[in-house]
Amino acid sequence: MTSSTEGRTSLVAGYLQHIADQCADDRSGAVADYIPELAAVDPDQYGLSLCAHDGYLYSVGDTTTEFTIQSMSKPLTYAMVLGRHGSDVVDAKIGVEPSGEAFNEISVDSRRRPRNPMINAGAITAASLLLPQHREVEPGVVDEAFAELVEFYSACAGRRLTIDDEVYLSEKSTGSRNRAIAYMLDSFGVLGTDPDAALDLYFRQCSLRVTTADLAVVGVTIACGGVNPRTGRRVFSRRTAQRLLSVMTTCGMYDGAGDWVTSVGIPAKSGVGGGILGSLPGQLGIGVFSPRLDDHGNSVRGVDTYRHLSADLGLHMFNITRESRVTIRAVYDIGEFEIGTEWTGAQRARLRGCRDRVRVYELQGDLTFSGAESVLRRIDLDIDACDIVIVEISRIDVIDPVARRMVLGAGSTLAERGKRVLLVDPDGVVREGLRRVENGSGVDSSSKIILPHVHSTMEAAVADAESIQLEGV
Ligand SMILES: NC(=O)CC[C@H](N)C(=O)O
């Protein structure tokens, strides 16, 4: 498996690779076989991508492999329809209650509406709302609606998506169940358009090709309230984003919604192609792909991956923190050290070169995975400008176990590049983790762990920085 991030090999990519490795051996489940194109895929493929709220992308595994979006298209078409008609019109046609049934169940609620937009009945109704609301649909109208749909999906993914024609034609020629659903809806008067046109649009949307990176970017666009952070473009409104997160939470993983929310807690949507799209509000987007499915039609390794992301990286949406995002409240350089008279002329000359090589980062808020990820990336970005980094965490109250490991792990990753990390931690928020690592029950499995020096005051850290600088003189 390959791993790629947009920068240097990072701690975060290492965590993702570790999760991928833990899920790799599970060969249970079976690939979707209702059409030959899906049955023929390599079942062992696996990819995982994560996109941070500023658009930075991490990927491990088969992340360039394209697969069909299938039901992960449902939230996107729903978003389009909400934008076009407003929630009142849409709510009159499609409910928002979890159905507790399979995705292709032929059922409606007491008002004869599909129960929610994440099951096929709701998704076909959503697709119908992108077409002219009369029965006589002229040729070319579906093409036009599809072109707009591709435009919208592509804006969410930040890249032009294309259709898999074989999958589309196969879906179209074998879709009796979906046809039954559409005609039932039509008989109830739910569809204002030609049911075959709605089906055609639905089959096309399901056949668009994506990668896990695309899914992560779509997920982060939802997480960021409708703005794609990679393009800076607003694709849909904040209200729509809130709606998508709500229905993904309650209905995205079909009949196991309660279990999903408690054990994973990441709004998500799966597709029978083996993908799972996830969106953690305000924080990040996730894309996973592995073709073998469980009885609900969700990717087996995909579900397992999400369980790990939630448990190991603390990514549950109800991981309560005081401030949702840690902030770097100040960054400054210590400047030139006092140079004592005991030093020789040559030493003094070299000491002067130490100037501005010690940089302080003061953090505040609660430190979670996402916060630690962005802080470490910021440090990584600046690192050529300094030799010693002092991270001041006296204003951090709560630190997640994963964030603690990340902060401690920075000692090793920066040491590889000849840099040192010192922590100012008066309240001992990292101390517990430090003890565990020192006892050998730690964290990163890297052979030599270089821990940051931990100090209780800034003065002590600065004095330590000074003596480290002097060692090299
Ligand atoms: N759950 C899914 O991904 C279902 C999509 C599939 N094309 C169908 O409509 O049956």
CATH of the domain at 443: 3.30.750.24
pLDDT the model gives residue 432? 67
Residue 254 assigned as binding residue: yes
Residue 137 assigned as binding residue: no
- Name every residue whose Cβ is closer than 8 Å to that of residue 230 and which is 6 or more positions away in sequence: 51, 55, 57, 158, 217
pLDDT the model gives residue 312? 92
Residue 34 assigned as binding residue: no
The closest of 237, 235, 309, 242 to 281, measured between CA atoms, is 242
pLDDT the model gives residue 277? 98
Count of domains observed in the chain: 2
Cβ–ligand 1 contact at 73 (below 6 Å): no
- Name every residue whose Cβ is closer than 8 Å to that of residue 433 and which is 6 or more positions away in sequence: 401, 404, 405, 408, 443
Q: Is 277 helix (H, G, I), strand (E, B) or coil?
A: strand
195 plus 334 within the same structural domain: no
137 plus 182 within the same structural domain: yes
Model pLDDT for residues 299-336, shown as the tens digit of each residue: 999 999 999 999 999 999 998 765 556 788 899 888 65
In this prediction, the residues of the chain whose per-residue pLDDT falls under 50 are: 1-2, 7-8, 441-447
* Cβ atoms within 10 Å of 416's Cβ, excluding its own: 12
Q: How distant is the alpha carbon of residue 167 from its chain centre? A: 26
Can you give the residue range of the structural domain that contains 44? 1-316
Contact 220/53 with Cβ under 8 angstroms?
Answer: yes
Output the CA 469–ligand 1 centroid distance in Å: 62
Structure tokens at 214: 């695309």
pLDDT the model gives residue 353? 57
Residue 429 lies in a domain: yes
Residue 123 lies in a domain: yes
58 plus 150 within the same structural domain: yes
Amino acid at 445: S
Pocket probe for ligand 1: among 31, 71, 277, the residue whose CB has the most ligand atoms within 8 Å is 71
Residue 465 lies in a domain: yes
Cβ–ligand 1 contact at 207 (below 6 Å): no
Output the CA 107–ligand 1 centroid distance in Å: 16
203 plus 155 within the same structural domain: yes
Q: How far apart are CA 426 and CA 391, in angstroms?
A: 12
235 plus 357 within the same structural domain: no
33 plus 111 within the same structural domain: yes
Distances 369 to 4, 95, 415 between C-alpha atoms, Å = 19, 35, 21
Residue 46 assigned as binding residue: no
293 plus 399 within the same structural domain: no
Residue 246 lies in a domain: yes
264 plus 375 within the same structural domain: no
307 plus 337 within the same structural domain: no
* Domain end position, chosen among 316, 343, 374: 316
Structure tokens at 207: 């056949």
- For ligand 1, atom 6, the nearest C-alpha belongs to 70
Residue 272 assigned as binding residue: yes
Cβ–ligand 1 contact at 387 (below 6 Å): no
Output the CA 175–ligand 1 centroid distance in Å: 10
Output the CA 252–ligand 1 centroid distance in Å: 13
Cβ–ligand 1 contact at 469 (below 6 Å): no
* Domain end position, chosen among 284, 316, 348: 316
Q: Which ipTM did the prediction report?
A: 0.96
229 plus 290 within the same structural domain: yes
Which residues face 288 on adjacent strands?
Answer: 48, 276
CATH of the domain at 284: 3.40.710.10
Output the CA 21–ligand 1 centroid distance in Å: 28
Question: pTM of the predicted model, to two decimals?
Answer: 0.89
Q: How far apart are CA 131 and CA 77, in angstroms?
A: 12
List residues with catalytic annotation.
71, 74, 202, 254, 272
Residue 286 lies in a domain: yes
Residue 295 lies in a domain: yes
pLDDT the model gives residue 7? 47
Cβ–ligand 1 contact at 120 (below 6 Å): yes
Residue 321 lies in a domain: no
Q: Is 228 helix (H, G, I), strand (E, B) or coil?
A: strand
158 plus 36 within the same structural domain: yes
Q: How far apart are CA 461 and CA 94, in angstroms?
A: 60
Residue 100 lies in a domain: yes
The runs of H, that is alpha helices, within 224-339 are 238-251, 257-263, 300-313
* Domain end position, chosen among 297, 316, 335: 316
Cβ–ligand 1 contact at 171 (below 6 Å): yes
348 plus 306 within the same structural domain: no
Structure tokens at 186: 């039509």
Cβ–ligand 1 contact at 68 (below 6 Å): no
The number of the ligand 1 atom at minimal distance from the alpha carbon of 206 is: 7
Contact 131/205 with Cβ under 8 angstroms?
Answer: no
